[in-house]
Structure 1
Amino acid sequence: MVMMKYAVIGAGAMGYRYGVLLQENAAKSVDFIDTWAPNIEKVRQQGGVYVSRDHEGRHLVPISISTPEDYQGDPDVWIIFLKQMQLEDALKRCEPLFKDHQVAFSAMNGWGHFEKIQQYFPKDRIYGGTAMIATVLNGPGDVDFIGKPGAGSMHMCAMTEEVTEVEQAMAADFKAANLNPIITQNFQGTCLAKIIFNSVVNTLCTMYQITMGQFVSYPGAMDMATQLINEAYDALERAGFQLIQTRQEAIKEVDFVSRVSNPLHYPSMYQDMSKGRKTEVDYINGYIAKVGREHDYPCRTHEFLTHGVHLAELAFQIHQQEAAKA
C-alpha cells in the first residue's frame, strides 16, 4: 500500500476536518495552506487550531500552516476545500508547488471546480467526491466538528472512473480518519449527488435562516424536497448524466441527514451568508438551472431559489447595516 503525505488547500471548516482527522486518527503527515491572512496569523499565534465537537471539548491541535508562497513541502495528495469563488486565485498561487507525481482530491460544494483543477492536473490525477459531513468554522483558527466521531460519510471517484492504487490508499487513510469513504466508478453522478442534496437543504435553510432539523420538522418539507429533486433529476437526465442514487434514495437522504444526523446544523451556505460572504448558490441551484436551460428543460424552482438566496443575502446585509446604525 502506498504511504501518503497530504496537504490541504483551504484551511476552512472542511479543510480543517479532513486534515485534523487524517493527522490525529490516521497518523498522517498533513500540511495546511491557506490564503486568508487572519486565519494563518491566528493559527501561528496560538500554535495550532482549536477544535470542538458539537460545541464541547475545545482543545488545541498543533498544525503546520503556510501561505502558498511560503510553503516548502512536497505532498503526494492535495486535498482541496475552498469556496468556488476563491478557487481560481488560490490554484494560481499554488501552481509552482504542483508536481507530476502528485494527485488532487476535492469534495467541494457545487460544480465548476474540476474545470479549474484540470488546468493544473491531468484527468488521470484528479479524484472527486462528496462529503456528507457537517462542520462549522467559528472563526480564524477555531473549528467545530458537528456530530459524533464517525458521523457522516463520503464518496470518492477517480475522474477516469478507474480504481487505482492511489485511490485505494487514500480511501484507507480516510477510513482510518473515520471519514467513512465509499469508492464509486461514476464520477459525474457521484459529485452531482451532493449538489442535489445541497440544492434542497442548504438553499432552503439559508433563505429561512433555520437549522436542518427545523427545516425537516416542517410538515411540507419533503414535498418541497421532492419537487426540487424531481426537477433536478429531470434536467440532469436530459443532459445524459447517470446519477448514483434513485430519486427516492435522494429524498430519503435529505430526510435522514436533516432529521437524524445533523438536526442542529446550519448548512455552509447559511454560515457564509451570516458572515457577510457570498454564497455558492450559483454553483448549486444555479448550476442545475443552467443544465436545464441548455437542454430545453426550464428548472423554474431552481431558477427561483437561486434568486431567492441572492435576495436573502441582500436582505441580511440591509438588516446588518440598519442594526449598526441603531
Structure 2
Amino acid sequence: MKIIIAGAGAMGSRFGLMLHRANHEVVFVDGWQDHIDEINKNGLQANFNGEEIVENIPIYNQNEISKINYSADLVILFTKAMQLDNMLQSISNLLHERTKVLCLLNGIGHEDTIEKYVPYDNILLGNTMWTSGIEGPGKVKLFGDGSVDLQNLGVGQKQIANEVIEALNQAGLNAQYSSNILSSIYKKACVNGTMNGLCTILDCNIADFGKTSYEDRIINQIVDEFIAIADAQNIPLNKDEILDQIKSSYNLETIGLHYPSMYQDLIINHRLTEIDYINGVIVRKGEQYQIATPYCTFLTELIHTKEELLGVK
C-alpha cells in the first residue's frame, strides 16, 4: 500500500518505520526542516525496544510536497491538531477519490476539517495506545507495546476499515475494529486530558505523578468532567475502565518513565501545545451544555500561561 505519514514526529515516525519495515511504500511529510534534513542525510535512526536501527524513508517538507509525483492509497494523520488544515491543504494534490484518510490525532472533532479534502466515506477515525519519543532531529525512541482502534465514518464502509486494519497489522501495529470509536476517542482523551497537561505543568514523567498523594483526587475530578460532556452527547464511557487505564500507565515496566507529548512539545521543544483540542474542548462543550468544568478550565489556563512564560508562538 502507498502510504503518506502526515506529521513525522514521534508517533508518525513509529508508524512510518513499522509500516516501511512491513514493505509498504511509505512517504513522510513534515514541516520540521532539521528533522527532514537529518532523515534525508542519515536515515531515520531509532532505538527500537533497545535495538539501534536505521531506515531510509523518503521525507518531504509539506511546503514542497506538491512537486513530487505520488498518489496515496492511505494517509495517516499525525500532525498537531492546530496544523491539520494546513497539512491537508499541502498534500491535497496527492489525494484521489479512493484515498483513505485515518486520523489518529489527539483531541476531538477533526473529521469536520478532513471532510473538506476527501469524501466523508473515505474518513476513518481512530486512536492509538502506542508511545514514542523524539530524541532529536531524525532520532526517535520506540518502546513498549500498543494498539490501534479505528472505525469508518461512512455507513456501510466497514470494508475500507478492514483494508486499513490489515495493512497496519502486517506491520505489527495491533489494529482492531471499533463499533463505537467516539467512545474510544473520548477514553483516550481522558488519558491525554490527565497525563499530558499534568506532567507538563508539574515537570514530571507519568510514574512520578502516579506516586503523589494527590493523583487519585485530581484524576477523578478531570475524568468526571470528560464523562459529563460525553454523557451530554450520548457517548457511553466506563469510569472504572478509564481510571484503570490511566493508572496502568504509571507502571515503570511499561510507559511510566515516558514524558507525554505535550511535555515534549512545550518543555523540551518550546512549541505550542494541543491543550485547546483536549481539555479546552471539554471547556467549550461545558459552556455549550452548561456543565461546570473547573479542573479542565484551570489546566487549560495553566498550560497557556506556561506557553506565554516560555515565549512560545
| TM exceeding 0.5 | yes
The residue that corresponds to 2:34 in the other structure is: 38
Letter in 1 for 2:213: P
Matched, 1:253 2:249: no
Alignment match of 2:24 (pick from 11, 28, 41): 28
Q: Are 2:97 and 2:119, in contact at CA under 8 Å, matched by a contact in 1? A: no
Partners of 1:80 and 1:195 lie apart in 2 by 17
Query: Runs of at least 4 residues of structure 1 off by over 4 A?
Result: none
Any conservation in 1 of the 2:44–2:56 contact (CA below 8 Å)? yes
Give me the whole-angstrom Cα distance separating, in 1, the residues matched to 2:116 and 2:185.
19
Residue 69 (1) aligns with residue 60 (2): no
Which of 36, 45, 52 is equivalent to 1:50? 45
Residue in structure 2 matched with residue 323 of structure 1 by the alignment: none
Q: How far apart are the structure 1 equivalents of 2:307 and 2:275?
A: 11
Secondary structure in structure 1 of the residue aligned to 2:162 = helix
Question: Mean alpha-carbon deviation: is it higher for 207-216 or for 26-35?
Answer: 26-35
TM-fit CA distance, 1:130 = 0.7
**Structure 1: tracts of 5 or more residues without a match:** 321-326
Aligned partner (choices 129, 143, 158) of residue 164 of structure 1: 158
Cα separation, 2, equivalents of 1:146 and 1:18: 12
The answer to whether the aligner puts 1:84 opposite 2:81 as a matched pair is yes
Cα distance change of structure 1 residues 257 and 182 upon mapping to structure 2, 3 Å threshold: farther
Instruction: Work out which of the residue numbers 264, 268, 287 in structure 1 matches 2:261.
Output: 268
| Deviations 1:232-261, CA, capped at 9 Å, x for gaps | 1012211x2313x40110011000123253
Partner of 2:106: 109
3-state DSSP of counterpart to 1:134: coil
Corresponding residue for residue 12 of structure 1: 9
In 1, the alpha carbon distance for the partners of 2:297 and 2:263 equals 19
The residue type paired with residue 28 of structure 2 is F
> Is contact 1:188–1:241 with CA below 8 Å preserved after alignment?
no
Count of aligned pairs: 307
Where structure 2 has 5 or more consecutive residues not aligned to the other structure, the ranges are none
> Which residue among 173, 181, 190 is the counterpart of 1:179?
173
- Match of 1:307? 301
Q: Deviations over 1:71-100 (max 9, x none)?
A: 321121011110112222111111122110
TM-score under structure 2 normalisation?
A: 0.92
Which deviates further from its counterpart, 7-16 or 185-194?
A: 185-194
What secondary structure is seen at the aligned counterpart in 2 of 1:258? coil
